[in-house]
Amino acid sequence: MMEVLKQAGYSLATLMVVMNYGLLLVGLVTIIVARVHGRIGPPIWQPYINILKTLSMRTALSHGIMFYLGPVFRIVGGIGLLFFMPVVYGSSWMQNFSFAGDVILVVYFVFFGMLGMALGAAESGHPYSAIGIMRGLAQNTAAELPFALALMALAAQHQTLSITDIVAAQQGGIAHWNMITNPVATLAGMLAFFGMMMHSPFDVHLAPQEIPIGPPTEFHSSYLALMQTNRSIFHAAKLILFMNLFFGGATSIFVMVVKTFALLMVVVFAGVVFPRYRVEQSIRWFIRIPLAVGILAVVISAWK
């Protein structure tokens, strides 16, 4: 029991580190995008101000229990994704609760938050909620298909469903990274990565360009604070997941920051260069090139 409590304490400490790192990333990305657009942008600590402001607000609106559980499900998905994979390989306190077969579990956690938000939005009473649910679930499903195929290819390559074992197999230098040993699976995963991060050009279902609709206008006060907090946790957790799967993991916090920041900049670069896709355009794109690459990765790994 003491060992479990100790590991839980380490995991909570890891959560605080990753959450603050994610908040700083969100603030930094906002500044970078603003500078590309020729604006100054808000300060890097603006996400902290937003969370404190929304936490101080109260609401008298009532839409039903499922509406308020939506942000809760969303943040559970982000925390669950983080807690069941190693953040720093070999660390005594950032290994979390990773176990054999955790690859399958993290796939569920990635989709769990989106499903919770769909259930919450369905009870909001907003006339366009059904459209938003359809957009979000359709695009996320299309993006996760090549990601799931890339995971299958890695599992066949390393004969394991453990993220820790996959990271362990990549130790010893860049030549051992899956980016080098399985470039086709890495390509499929990275193409899916653009959609899973939900940055432009794959963010139209979040309605960032439409002021009167979207989750930030439907959810408010502490529920919006939960969504803002989860945004930082989910972003950082997904970056760590892809770093572990394809780019050798991290053996220190410094290496983790460098690798995840580089991954995020790939997404940010694509977001400021390419215009937004309509939902049907993004789905069509995911089920063509990324899905074909994912199938090819599985075939190659199975053939070997």
For the stretch 53-96, pLDDT in tens is 888 877 666 677 777 787 888 888 888 888 888 888 888 778 77
The burial class, CB within 10 Å (0-12 / 13-18 / 19+), for 228 is buried
- As a residue count, the chain comes to 304
For residue 234, what are its two tokens?
Answer: 């989910």
Q: What is the pLDDT of residue 255?
A: 92
CA dihedral 32, 224, 216, 219 (to 10 degrees): 170
**CA dihedral angle for residue 287, residue 110, residue 196, residue 251, rounded to 10 degrees:** -120
Q: What is the pLDDT of residue 210?
A: 57
pLDDT of residue 262: 92
Q: What pLDDT does residue 259 have? A: 94
pLDDT value of residue 116: 75
Give the pLDDT score at 275.
75
Q: What's the pLDDT tens digit per position in 176-218?
A: 999 999 999 999 999 999 888 887 788 776 666 555 455 556 6
Nearest to residue 126, comparing CAs of 61, 76, 184?
A: 61
Return the SS3 of 235.
helix
Instruction: Tell me the residue type at 31.
Output: I
So what's the pLDDT on residue 149? Answer: 92
Please tell me the predicted confidence (pLDDT) of residue 293.
Answer: 93
Provide the pLDDT for residue 132. Answer: 75
Coil vs helix vs strand at 48: helix
Q: With a cut of 50, which residues of the chain have pLDDT below it?
A: 212
Ramachandran quadrant class, 94 (left: phi over 0; alpha: psi -120 to 50; beta: rest): alpha
**Tokens read off for 210:** 């439409």
Query: CA 27, CA 47: separation in Å to the nearest integer?
Result: 6
Furthest C-alpha separation in the chain: 60
